[in-house]
Structures are given as C-alpha cells and as structure tokens.
Structure 1
Amino acid sequence: MKIRSLIMFKVLAVFLFTALITGCGVNIDANRYQNIAPQFDPFMFFDGKVKAWGLVQNRSGEMVQRFTVKIDGTVKGDTLTLDEVFHYEVGQGVTHRVWKISAKGKSQLQGSAQDILGIATGQLAGNAMRWQYEMDLPVDDTSYTVQFDDWIWAFEDNTIINRSYIKKFGIVMAEVTIFMQKAP
C-alpha cells in the first residue's frame, strides 16, 4: 500500500508540475493576423527614424525599467540595419544595439546583433510579426541566458506596438511593452 501511495504521489506531482509549466507560457497563433490591415512591412516601417517608448515588468507586474529608444533604420538591398540608442529613466540596460535583418522568402526574416546569441528568426503575418531570439541578459552582477518572444502589431502605417515575453525554461519571467512611431 505504501509503494502504491508513493507512486500515485509521484504521478500527481509530475502532472501538476507539467500543468504549471505549460500554463506559464504564451501561445499566440500568427495566422489569425494574416488578413488584418494594415500589413506590417518592417523594411518600410523602419527605413528612416523611429522613436520608441517602453517599459519592462517583472513577474509580479512591477515596473523595473522605463526607457526611450532612438532608432535609425537603413535599407540596402535585402538588408535592414537598425541602429538603436537606449536611454533609461528607470533601471539600467543595454545602451546601444545594431540589428542586421534580412528577408528569407516572402514572410520569413533572419537577424543578428552584437548581444544576441545565434540567429534571430521572424515570421510576418498580416499586421503582425513574431521575432524570436536568445541573449545573455545582464541582471545586477550576473547574466542569464533567456529567450525573447516578441510580437509586433501595426496599428497604422506609422505606429506599432511590440510586446516581448522574456522566458527562462519556458516560463515568462518578464514582459516588455514598447510603442514605436515613425518620424514624419
């Protein structure tokens, strides 16, 4: 009887742990945005100057960073270069990043930046874009390898919103919200 109870306890513990882990993820279907206007074209939107305002919230919802970003984008051939300069009003973080992004087919993108591990991948679908990558995120005196799952939605031709989910072991540890507006 004791062994049977122990086995049942272990099965229940594994089930509850699995349910907890899968319940902590974000699962958005890009295809549902395929027919929503305006169509998002990152090469058109980011060609020129863009201003962004954002914040980072930890798992408790507390704001841990508030920042602005000046983005200078250029398109040469099939490569989009984003030169980003960050200024923090609350918290600290990266102050400069340069993305190199290229189209891989009609709706696929790839990119890299100096603080990104490996290759970032993107998928375009109507007014949305999913952008995924991994980076070593500095926090205090250490850094953590985390995965970013960015969702970008176009509101109009000159305004987009970016919602990022920062994950570790598949669990959302923080969320980033950024509003971006193309300069006239």
Structure 2
Amino acid sequence: MRALIVLLFALCMAGCTGTDVRQYAAEQPALELSDYLNGELEAWGMFQNRSGEVVKRFHVALTGTWQGDVGTLDERFTYSDGSTERRVWTLRRQADGSWRGTAGDVVGEAIGEVSGNALHWRYQLLLKVDGEQYVVDFDDWMFLMDQRVMLNRARMSKWGIDLGQVTLSFYKPVK
C-alpha cells in the first residue's frame, strides 16, 4: 500500500511540472510584445474538447496600442455560430521583465514571461457556457514564428482536470 501511495504522489508531482519558458531563450525571432501586438492583427482559432472534437471555431480582430510599457489589446471575437464577444486586455511589463495582464473576464491577473520567441501566460478566466459562468484555468503558450505569424496553444482546465485546448494562429500584416 505504501508503494502505491508513493507512486501516486510521484505521478501527481510529475503532472505539476511543466516546460520552462527559458528553454526558448535562444529561439528567434525574439518576441517583443509591444512590437508584435501593436496595430491591427487577425487570428483564427478553435476550441477542442478533451477528446479532440472541435467544438467551436472563431475569428479575432485585434487592435493593440502602447504607451511605454503599458499596452491595450482590444480583441473582437466572431464565432462560427455567429455570436460575438469582446475582451480588452491591459498588459504591463514589470521591472523584472515579466508581464501582468488584466481583462474584464480574467480573475485577478494573468502572469506571463517572455523568453526568446515564446510567451507563457497563466490565468483564470470566467467562461460563459449555456447561461452559466465557470472559472477555468488557462496555461497559455505563444510562439512567434516570423514577423507576421504567431502560434498559440492554451490548455484549459478546472481543478487540474483537462477540459480542452484552444489553438490560434495570429497574423500581422507587415507594412
């Protein structure tokens, strides 16, 4: 019985460890949020439930503006069922180089770290489903591929139970 408890504890601890964003420090192009998330962008995405079924598809029109180390990111979602949603982020670079973000449906603050071409965000979101609201956890990774394209994959969970994944492809026209 004791061996079983030790094994379960080890499995739980292994599940708590994750990828460290610093492993991407040498990856190029380097992501500078205030550069990439500045101006007009578009993104296309989908939500897949934990069995991999695509449940929702969407398009996002984004506008980013900056004043020093504080940015506003206005996201306007249009879903495949015709419904719409808007989220306005306030992003703040911290003295240590990390990022904090707030939005109306984010519980507390999103905490992020950039290294090389990668951004790793963690936050809780108020998610509306069938007239109900749930607080869900997001483990969100973004990777700058080139000056125009950034890929995003986020794991959504509740009490550590995987609910599904959000995948997005951002596109920024280069002038």
> TM-score scaled to structure 1, two decimals?
0.85
Post-superposition offset of 1:22: 5.5
Residues 103 and 171 (structure 1), Cα distance of their counterparts in 2 relative to 1, 3 Å cut = same
SS of structure 2 residue aligned to 1:95: strand
Q: Counterpart amino acid of 2:35?
A: M
SS of structure 2 residue aligned to 1:31: helix
Greater shift in the superposed pair: 46-55 or 26-35: 26-35
Q: Runs of 4+ in structure 1 displaced over 3 angstroms?
A: 14-26
How many percent identity over aligned positions? 37
Partners of 1:39 and 1:97 in 2: CA distance:
26
Partners of 2:122 and 2:161 in 1: CA distance:
15
The structure that has the greater radius of gyration is 1
Q: Do structure 1's residue 66 and structure 2's residue 57 form an aligned pair? A: yes
Q: Do structure 1's residue 165 and structure 2's residue 142 form an aligned pair? A: no
The residue that corresponds to 2:27 in the other structure is: 36
Post-superposition offset of 1:77: 2.1
Q: How many aligned positions are there?
A: 174
1:103-136: CA deviations, max 9, x gaps?
0035300110011000111101101000111122
SS of structure 1 residue aligned to 2:51: coil
- Superposed, 1:137-148 pairs within 5 Å as 137-148=127-138
The residue that corresponds to 2:42 in the other structure is: 51
Partners of 1:15 and 1:64 in 2: CA distance:
38
Post-superposition offset of 1:183: 2.2
- Aligned mate of 1:95, from 74, 81, 85: 85
SS of structure 1 residue aligned to 2:140: strand
Partners of 2:9 and 2:166 in 1: CA distance:
26
> TM-score scaled to structure 2, two decimals?
0.89
SS of structure 2 residue aligned to 1:156: coil
Residues 16 and 88 (structure 1), Cα distance of their counterparts in 2 relative to 1, 3 Å cut = farther
Partners of 2:15 and 2:127 in 1: CA distance:
20
The residue that corresponds to 2:140 in the other structure is: 150
The residue that corresponds to 2:121 in the other structure is: 131
The residue that corresponds to 1:3 in the other structure is: none
* 8 Å CA contact retained: 1:109, 1:123: yes
Alignment root-mean-square deviation, CA: 2.2
Structure 1 unaligned residues grouped into runs of 5+: 1-7
Greater shift in the superposed pair: 97-106 or 21-30: 21-30
Q: Counterpart amino acid of 2:94?
A: K
